[in-house]
Chain A
């Protein structure tokens, strides 16, 4: 078990090609005079899974907005696949706490929405086959033509996963994706997410409030402290992959949870 405050020593297997790089990203909202983020450094390598945990108001949503290019940082640089992020990018897929499906579109039509917006109706129709394959991948075979109000919360969130994946993004940004689900569905969805990420070798950045979720999914877990938001500590999770729910009962898992819990408690009073 190692804890790094700098990212100089990455664990074996994580020294791949960097996909997403944030260097010294700070954000100050001048009008309200709020210092939201302070020198954030992140380096997501290809196929890695990084989670960020922090209390409410620690600047997570500002960080996500900067990463998606919806906000520009006051200082520092954001690079994605070697190019600076200056606006919405095609190679970023995003998911929220709510499925945010559109009730007038069937499941498959919801999935191809990003294609329709970017390349038009015709391109979207051509992608229907891919969309169906994705729905199949998340276990929603036969639900292609169903409208969202006939889907359960977990099913809707799985459709949202497909919508995120249809554009084949290089990076997945997940903003508390399963926190609206019940505990059982959440565990199940976490395992699904792991499987999908592995299958597609996706680079993933997860924002969550759940320490167990962060530990079971991630290679790295960063703890954020508020005002101004910064990364207080980063923990490398050295558990074998694929992770299973049984691992949650292992002492190693419990030790990681305890360590992060302590870091969070310390960070809150800084």
Chain B
């Protein structure tokens, strides 16, 4: 083989590499289109299952009936009818519960993460309580705080509390050895080390906790409503289910998930503002755009 020939084969090899670097068709479609396609496939399968009567129509309504209900419920919400009031009730429970969880969780996390007393004496109890199925406390909260909003707020806060504690405590421990040593050699006080090093370093952990808490607060509020009645969205779902109005149950769940997405969104927005410097924050940002 002459040199020229070797060159030619190399060129050919290069060309094959180029050819292999084809962009797959999924990457070439706009994201909205692919997402819509998945939804379309899902709805088609659903319609097929419905049409073939594979599952009782009481359990699985037709996708059209469900979409119709989504529109009905949506209109009811838009006109500010009783459903909007119910959603507002649940939203209040979620938001107040969430805020209680954030404040209380932050201070408990601080206690556990920063002080020896907290780590040695309080931590074991928190671990034990965290291992309990927290929604099982719902009947207790109802009997203590009544059928009003308070019992749901309490359950939402209780369920959402632990991720905040864990996030805060983990965040406080996140600062590395060198950074701590640097602060010590500079002569920083404990308060300065906490506020200028440990808390900022721990922000990403704290926000991970907040995001989990935002979703769990909705769980807490709705379970509270299932078991303790009241005027919230959970109650609407319970009534619809007891009337075997399955399409409505589906529609209500979808609107309820918007509430979870809303709180999650607020936390995400705050995270972007506060920890712009954190790489993973930026990636999640891209993920949601």
Contacts and interface: CB of A to CB of B under 8 A. Distances in A.
A88 B185 contact: yes
A153 interface: no
Contacts of A116: 196
A215 B103 CA distance: 56
B200 A102 contact: yes
A96 B185 CA distance: 12
* A contacts with B: majority SS: loop
Interface string A90-108: 1010101110101110000
B83 to A, nearest CB: 43
A117 B186 contact: yes
Contacts, number: 52
B277 A103 contact: yes
A113 B187 CA distance: 11
A70 B185 contact: yes
Interface in B172-190: 176, 178-179, 181-188
B57 interface: no
Interface string A164-177: 00000000000000
A100 B192 contact: no
A114 B278 CA distance: 23
Interface residues of B, number: 20
B96 interface: no
A141 interface: no
A104 B204 CA distance: 12
Nearest to A96: B178
B277 A117 contact: no
B178 A70 contact: no
Contacts of A118: 186-187
Interface string B146-184: 000000000000000000000000000000101101111
Interface in A67-82: 68-70
Interface string B67-98: 00000000000000000000000000000000
A42 B38 CA distance: 72
A104 B200 contact: yes
5 contacts: A70-B181, A70-B184, A90-B187, A117-B183, A117-B192
Given A94-B182, A98-B178, A149-B279, 18 more contacts: A70-B184, A70-B185, A88-B184, A88-B185, A88-B186, A89-B187, A96-B178, A100-B176, A102-B179, A102-B197, A103-B277, A113-B186, A117-B183, A117-B188, A117-B192, A118-B186, A118-B187, A147-B277
Interface of B: 176, 178-179, 181-188, 192, 196-197, 200-201, 275, 277-279
